[in-house]
Amino acid sequence: MKITIVGGGIGGLSLALALHQRGLACEVYETVPEVKELGVGITLLPHAMRELAALGLQAAIEAVGIENEESVFFNRFGQFIYKEARGRHAGYALPEIGIPRGKLHRLLYEAALARLGAGAIHTDHRCTGMTQDDSGATVQFVQTSTGAALPPVRTDVVIACDGVNSTLRRQFYPDEKVAFAGINTWRGVTRHKPILTGKSYMRIGSIDTGKMVIYPIVDQLDAEGHQLINWVAEIKRDNAAMNDWNREGELQDFMSIFEDWRFPWLDVAALIANAEQILEYPMVDKDPVRQWTFGRVTLLGDAAHPMYPRGSNGSAQAIIDGRTLAEQLAGAGGDARAALLAYEKLRLAPTANIVLTNRSVPPDFINIKVDELSGGKPFANIDELISQQELREISEHYKKVAGFSLEAAKAG
């Protein structure tokens, strides 16, 4: 069975490693001419770490990331709402890790090169489309750096791992557009002294009046103990124009929302102003679809189920997709199309549920609920608004939907 993976991001490389682990050969075709450590931070939740540990990458990830001890919620006035232990500190067998996205991608890329061989990883290949017939599929490529046509690739199976703007998905859903509800984000990294425990994942405020997500991704940058702090600013505005992807962010576009966020435990305005890099992104997803698999091609990760980047679940679900698909292909007895359909049946409904939950009841619904109860004003005592048990139930609901509740982790 010849397996062609279109897209060498986190999902595509995880799939390649999972296939190799099960004795299946594959080749990966990635758009960029050279793989670089780009992007800002990412959090690897215990269900993502379970998959990466099974691929033999846990030690390498822990060596370059920071283990989260706690998740803490505050309103936009810096008042404490709720906190909970995370990862190993909450009883999981595996840690929750904050890591630069580029470093995670590099680890996956180098592992794929070492295990599959350099000849199986093709960069500078931009997919322009595919055709299929009874005996196989043909994938067309051009060279990204020059635009020149490259030889087509004949294959048995095509896995589209080419992201939210997937070329291959567009063949089957040509009129589809991303869903944008007026929420834009800006992401940055700042050299800063450790905040709270130095291993704290913080959510401050809510999208209607401004929200920040803040967590460390690199430890001990210098002799003074500075960390590299990842932050995401998020705001919903009526009639907002959609941000671009990976464009340099401009402070004047969002800084006014956060300029008075100066708390005894953190000067948020200074954290933003001192950023080494700021990128802008739109908060977009796509409505769940009824079908991913079309004959010899199927979709995976953001190409299958683009979701709001909330709850650190986009990458986790892509990695789980990869393991699930590899299992089905390994047990297919040569019937690749049946394996693709079996994978779709296992993964389509759970990921659709997460897409919809990320829209309506995301992890930061805790902050949204408290803002609603307080009228968006400072409160005297959080326990007079809502109990810690009720807040915990909101948090646990999301974990169950996303598949990383403690019970699910212990069940395997």
In this predicted model, what pLDDT tens digit does every residue of 302-345 receive, in sequence order?
999 999 887 778 899 999 999 999 999 999 888 999 999 999 99
Q: Look at residue 7 and tell me if it is in a domain.
A: yes
pLDDT of residue 317: 95
pLDDT digits (tens, 9 = 90+) for 196-220: 999 999 999 999 999 999 999 999 9
Q: Look at residue 87 and tell me if it is in a domain.
A: no
**What pTM did the predictor assign?**
0.94
Q: Look at residue 276 and tell me if it is in a domain.
A: no
Give the residue with greater pLDDT, 82 vs 408.
82
Does 267 have pLDDT greater than 80? Answer: yes
The domain that holds 105 is classified in CATH as 3.50.50.60
Does 38 have pLDDT greater than 80? Answer: no
Output the average pLDDT for the chain: 94
Q: Look at residue 113 and tell me if it is in a domain.
A: yes
Share of the chain above pLDDT 90, in %: 88
Q: Look at residue 192 and tell me if it is in a domain.
A: no
Q: Look at residue 270 and tell me if it is in a domain.
A: no
Q: Look at residue 367 and tell me if it is in a domain.
A: no
* One-letter-per-residue 3-state SS of the chain: CCEEEECCCHHHHHHHHHHHHCCCCEEEECCCCCCCCCCCEEEECHHHHHHHHHCCCHHHHHHHCEECCEEEEECCCCCEEEEEECHHHHCCCCCCEEEEHHHHHHHHHHHHHHHHCHHHEECCEEEEEEEEECCEEEEEEEECCCCCEEEEEEECEEEECCCCCCHHHHHHCCCCCCEEEEEEEEEEEEEECCCCCCCEEEEEEECCCEEEEEEEEECCCCCCCCEEEEEEEEEECCCCCCCCCCEECCHHHCHHHHCCCEECCEEHHHHHHCCCEEEEEEEEECCCCCCCCECCEEECHHHCCCCCCCCCCHHHHHHHHHHHHHHHHHCCCCCHHHHHHHHHHHHHHHHHHHHHHHHHCCCCHHHHHHHHHHCCCCCCCHHHHCCHHHHHHHHHHHHHHHCCCHHHHHHC
pLDDT of residue 129: 97
- Structural domain including 320 reads 3-43+99-177+289-360
> For the chain, what is the domain count?
1
Q: Look at residue 218 and tell me if it is in a domain.
A: no
